[in-house]
Amino acid sequence: MKKIKPLVLIVDDNSTNIDLLVNTLKNDYRLGVAKNGQKALDYTEKRLPDLILLDIMMPGMNGYEVCGRLKTATRTKDIPVIFITAMTETAHKTRAFEAGALDYITKPFHTAEVKARVRTHLSLKKAREHEIYIASKIQKTLLLGKPPRDINGIQIAQLTIPSQKVDGDFIDFFKLDNQCFDLVVGDVMGKGVPAALLGAAIKSHFLRVLNELIRLTDRKEFPDPEKIISAVHSSMIDQLEDIETFVTLCYARFDMAKHLLSFVDCGHMRTIHFHADSNRCSLLRGVNMPLGFPEQEPFKQTLVPFKPGDLFVFYSDGLTEAKNQDGVLYGEKRLVDFVQKNAIIEPKELINTVRKDVVAFSQSDIFDDDLTCVLVGIEKKSALSDKAELKIKNNLTELAEVRSFVRKFCESIPDIHLNNNRINLIELAATEVTANIIKHAYDGHSDEQIWINALLSDDKIVFRFYDWGKEFELKSVPSPVFDGSLSGGFGLHIISHTVDEVTYSRDEKGRNCACLKIKL
Residues near other proteins (CB under 8 A) are 396-397, 399-400, 403, 421, 424-425, 427-428, 431-432, 435, 438-439, 480, 482-488, 490-491, 493-494, 497-498
Compare residues 422 and 470 and give the one whose CB is closer to other proteins: 422
Minimum distance of other proteins from residue 428's CB (angstroms):
6
Strand partners, 172: 184
Given the complex with other proteins, which of 129 and 443 has the nearer CB atom? Answer: 443
Tell me whether residue 348 or residue 497 sits nearer to other proteins (CB atom): 497
Residue 519 C-beta: closest distance to other proteins, Å: 19
Q: Minimal distance in Å, beta carbon 492 to other proteins? A: 9
- What are the distances in angstroms from CA 373 to CA 120, 272, 311, 425, 456? 39, 11, 13, 42, 35
Within 10 A of 308 (CB to CB), how many other CB atoms are there? 16
Task: Convert 216-249 to b/e letters by CB count within 10 Å (16 or more is b).
Answer: eeeeeebbbbbbbbbbbbeebeeebeeeebbbbb
Q: Closest separation between CB of residue 254 and other proteins, Å?
A: 27
Q: Closest distance between other proteins and the C-beta of residue 465, in Å?
A: 15
Q: How far is the CB of 204 from other proteins (least distance, A)?
A: 35
CA 496 – CA 60 distance, rounded (Å): 93
The least CB distance from residue 257 to other proteins, in Å, is 19
The smaller minimum CB distance to other proteins, of residues 61 and 435, is found at 435
Phi, psi of 454 (to 5 degrees): -120, 135
Can you count the helices (H) and strands (E) in the chain? 13, 20
Burial class (CB in 10 A: 0-12, 13-18, 19+), 341: exposed
Query: CA of 250: how far to CAs of 142, 184, 201, in Å?
Result: 18, 6, 16
Instruction: Identify which of 297, 295, 300 has the alpha carbon closest to the alpha carbon of residue 237.
Output: 295
Write out the DSSP string of 87-150: ---HHHHHHHHHTT-SEEEESS--HHHHHHHHHHHHHHHHHHHHHHHHHHHHIIIIIBPPPPS-
The Cα–Cα gap between 426 and 440 comes to 21
List the one residue out of 229, 237, 197 whose CA is nearest residue 210.
229
**Minimum distance of other proteins from residue 505's CB (angstroms):** 22
In the bound state with other proteins, the residue whose beta carbon lies nearer, of 204 and 424, is 424
Give least dist CB 487 to other proteins, A. 4
Rounded Cα distance between 375 and 156, Å, is 6
User: Could you write out the DSSP letters of every residue in 15-47?
Assistant: HHHHHHHHHHHTTTSEEEEESSHHHHHHHHHH-
| Of 66 and 438, CB closest to other proteins | 438
CB nearer other proteins, residue 399 or residue 416: 399
To the nearest 10°, the Cα dihedral for 312, 338, 270, 315?
Answer: 70
| Cβ proximity to other proteins, 116 vs 400, nearer residue | 400
Residue 193 or 410: which CB sits closer to other proteins? Answer: 410
**Nearest distance, CB of residue 449 and other proteins, angstroms:** 17
Nearest to 291 by CA among 227, 232, 355: 232
User: Looking at beta carbons only, is 358 or 429 nearer to other proteins?
Assistant: 429
